[in-house]
Chains A and B, each alone.
Chain A
Amino acid sequence: MPDLSQQPWPWYAAGIIIGLIVPALLILGNKTFGISSNLRHICAACFPADLPFFKYDWKKEIWNFYFIGGIIGGAYIASQYLSTGNPITIHPDLKTELAGYGITNLNHLLPPEIFSFSSLFTLRGFIMLVIGGFLVGFGTRYAGGCTSGHSIMGLSNLQWPSLVATICFMVGGFITANYILPWILSL
């Protein structure tokens, strides 16, 4: 077990625990690991608008709301009681690159220069919070899953469509992070 106070936990510790979530959910109640479905269940519960895609009994999927409720609680516990409070250590090249865009605050897991309510009223903040979020919701549902449903659950079950999806996630991410995001960050 890693030292609980240490941060970040090493990759193998995190990887082992996340990998074990797959059998845990299956054995606890025959549930497949997948988080982006919750975005669909929220639509089905709150704004079904008579669309066939949202007409199903979302209450049968309510376990997943408990699951993400737990994620929120776990992140709260970790941030309140297990946090070191130290700044995040990042690759020097990334640090230099981000400083060029005015992003220098490394005291939190997210840069407050972007992820704050006030940044919403800048072009850069609007694109990153609103357009970025829209792409996450639209893209995951179009692909039929996200990192958990395809890359971890799907690959664990040796599903080749999930491999296609995972490769496309990475290709989209590489192109965006290296060629599109620098332009957005410079706005």
Chain B
Amino acid sequence: MQEPLVQQIDDNTACVNTSEKVHPWWYNLKYALVGIIFGIVFYKAEIISWFRIQEMFRLQSFHMYGIIGTAVVLGAISVFIIKRMNIKTIHGEKITIADKEFNKGQIFGGLLFGCGWAITGACPGPLFAHIGAGFFAILIVIASAVAGTWVYGYFRDKLPH
């Protein structure tokens, strides 16, 4: 019984959407370029600021709500167009997006992450941006986050899902 359960609650994050084609390593640089743009926006829009996250959770600023809301609307329109017009990747492959399966982890894990988000003022993306911006003490936060991920993997079968 244990094995199918693990399969069933797999959270769709690993080894999905992997291209069948084999490309040389430097093809990955296109993702680095998208990352560079993201990193600049993170810094210049102050999304990586601990202060902006505190304002968000105290309803003292519209800034973060405006950013996430606009991104979701634009993302949703894009996904709709991609599906509707059957747009392919630049390498001619079909675009597939895995559905998210519901499990209780989204509730328990979501509450715990929300707690960590308010304390550190950062979700995983901004943590990496902090390193680029020269806040090296954040390496401790990243190491702790990796440890948290590992501990989750260790206790996964015993946690309610």
Per the bound structure, the CA–CA distance linking A21 and B31 in Å amounts to: 10
The answer to whether B78 and A22 have CB atoms under 8 Å apart is yes
Q: Is A172 part of the contact surface with B, judged by Cβ < 8 Å?
A: yes
Number of interface residues of B (CB under 8 A): 128
Chain A residues 31 to 60 lying within 8 A of chain B, measured CB to CB, are 31-44, 47, 49, 51-54, 56-58, 60
**Set B31, B115, B133: member contacting A75, Cβ < 8 A:** B133
Chain B residues 66 to 80 lying within 8 A of chain A, measured CB to CB, are 66-76, 78-79
Given contacts A116-B137, A144-B109, contact A161 B100 (CB under 8 A): yes
Chain A to chain B contacts (Cβ below 8 Å), 28 pairs = A4-B44, A11-B65, A11-B66, A26-B79, A29-B30, A29-B89, A32-B98, A35-B124, A36-B123, A52-B6, A60-B18, A69-B32, A70-B39, A75-B42, A78-B43, A88-B51, A94-B58, A129-B144, A131-B144, A133-B142, A135-B148, A137-B147, A138-B151, A139-B113, A152-B71, A156-B75, A162-B100, A177-B57
Extra A-B contacts (6), CB below 8 Å, given A17-B38, A73-B39, A168-B106? A36-B124, A53-B156, A67-B38, A71-B39, A129-B120, A162-B106
Closest-CB distance, A3 to chain B (whole angstroms): 10
Set of chain A residues within 8 Å of B122, measured between Cβ atoms: 136
The answer to whether B60 and A144 have CB atoms under 8 Å apart is no
Among residues of B, the one whose C-beta sits closest to the C-beta of A148 is: B125
Set of chain B residues within 8 Å of A123, measured between Cβ atoms: none
Chain B residues 108 to 158 lying within 8 A of chain A, measured CB to CB, are 108-125, 127-138, 140-154, 156
Q: Is A19 part of the contact surface with B, judged by Cβ < 8 Å?
A: yes
The answer to whether A139 and B31 have CB atoms under 8 Å apart is no
Set of chain B residues within 8 Å of A181, measured between Cβ atoms: 54, 118-119
Closest-CB distance, B64 to chain A (whole angstroms): 8
Number of interface residues of A (CB under 8 A): 140
Among A110, A131, A159, find the residue whose CB has the most chain B CB atoms closer than 10 A: A110
**Set B61, B68, B74: member contacting A147, Cβ < 8 A:** B68
Q: Is A8 part of the contact surface with B, judged by Cβ < 8 Å?
A: yes
The answer to whether A138 and B149 have CB atoms under 8 Å apart is yes
Per the bound structure, the CA–CA distance linking A91 and B59 in Å amounts to: 10
**Set B18, B49, B64, B113: member contacting A146, Cβ < 8 A:** B113
The answer to whether A71 and B51 have CB atoms under 8 Å apart is no
